[in-house]
Amino acid sequence: MKENKLKAVDFFCSGGGMSYGIQQAGIKILAGIDFDKTCEETYTSNIKGAKFIHADIFNLKEKELEKELSLKKKDKNLVLIGCSPCQFWSIINTNKNKSEKSKDLLKEFRRFVEYFQPGYVVVENVPGVLRRKAESGLEEFIEWLKSNKYKVHFDVHEVSNYEVPQHRRRFTLIANRVTKVELEPVKSKAKPRTVRDVLGVENGFPKVKAGHKDNSSFMHTVAGLKDINIKRLSLTKKNGGTRLAYADNAELAPNCHKNDKENFKDTYGRMWWDRPSPTITTKFFSISNGRFAHPEENRAISLREGAVLQSFPKNYIFKTASIANTARMIGNAVPPKYATAIGKAIIQNHK
């Protein structure tokens, strides 16, 4: 086997989930680019040897990046990765006005792909970007790739098939102009990992109470809960219980849930031990935002537990200012194990 000379630039890198996974596969990360300066310390603490380039892609010029990283055009060893923030295309009911600008990030990333014409292109996003592929610019981008002799794979993948102990559906595109092979993330042959495989005392997570603060780098920190929420959880069946346990309790049932036993049953619910977790969102530290209660302890999952369910290693360092900031970085990340599956496909093809 020839020495692997693959190298990658990670646009919209955030805290480094994609970069870390790609690096673990064996591809050198040259740089991560992000307009959020608060990501820098986390990124550089974990992605060894990579630069962090603080830039807004709308203002970043192709020649600037070419000079900064000594890149060459039509380099078959180069991988360009674009995992742009995806709130605008998400089916989750969020304020789309705040994310209006983000809807054009794929089009901006395309500028760099057209300029450099790398050996490989990777795009990862919410499934909604595929459902609205004309509006998002995806359709036109795929046509450009195909017309420029890239073999293009694009589909929605379930990350629990790639060693991530979580249900999460993600749109993924891998374009390859090195061979005529359509590349897909390399699936794991093992059975899907579950919450029990990674959480619990036997996996290094001591029992703690709501409001527990862990000031070490392990960050087994848990958001506080009001007494009424502690009472709700104490009535919620362990291992997958839901808010229906107290739906008829006039004191405990939230006003928005009274007389409603059909909608939003995951809210205030517990995870199951023997299933992958639900999708880890940016609000996973709050039981009112989904099925984010611990399978048996009366609390939400901790920051580190959320990170592990995203497949970050336990020694991954998060340098952030608050629980909310850390959770946002973790919830928005590409699960590293899934990124590794993408990286393996590229490396196998290159060899």
Q: Which of 254-263, 306-315, 324-333 has the lowest mean pLDDT?
A: 254-263
Tokens read off for 348: 């196998």
User: What ranges do the domains of the chain cover?
Assistant: 7-190+336-350
Q: What is the mean pLDDT of the chain?
A: 91
Tokens read off for 117: 């014409």
When pLDDT is averaged across residues 114-138 and rounded to a whole number, the result is 87
When pLDDT is averaged across residues 131-148 and rounded to a whole number, the result is 87
Q: Which of 102-116, 183-197, 215-229 has the lowest mean pLDDT?
A: 102-116
The string of pLDDT tens digits covering residues 40-55 is 999 999 999 999 999 9
Largest CA distance in the chain: 69
Q: Is the pTM of this model over 0.85?
A: yes
If one counts every other C-beta atom within 10 angstroms of the C-beta of residue 236, the result is: 21
Cα separation, 157 vs 139, in Å, equals: 18
Burial of 34: CB neighbours in 10 Å, binned 0-12, 13-18, 19+? buried
| Catalytic residue numbers, as ranges | 86
Report helix, strand or coil for 123. Answer: strand
Spatial neighbors of 76 by CB under 8 A, at least 6 apart, are: 118, 119, 177, 178
CB 301 within 8 A of CB 271: yes
Walk across the sheet containing 78-82 and list its strands.
51-54, 28-34, 7-11, 78-82, 120-125, 169-176, 151-158
Q: Which CATH architecture has domain 7-190+336-350?
A: 3-Layer(aba) Sandwich (3.40)
When pLDDT is averaged across residues 139-152 and rounded to a whole number, the result is 95
Cα separation, 22 vs 162, in Å, equals: 14
Q: Which of 190-194, 196-200, 228-232, 259-263 has the lowest mean pLDDT?
A: 259-263
Q: Please name which of 333, 276, 281 lies closest in space to residue 22, comparing C-alpha atoms.
A: 333
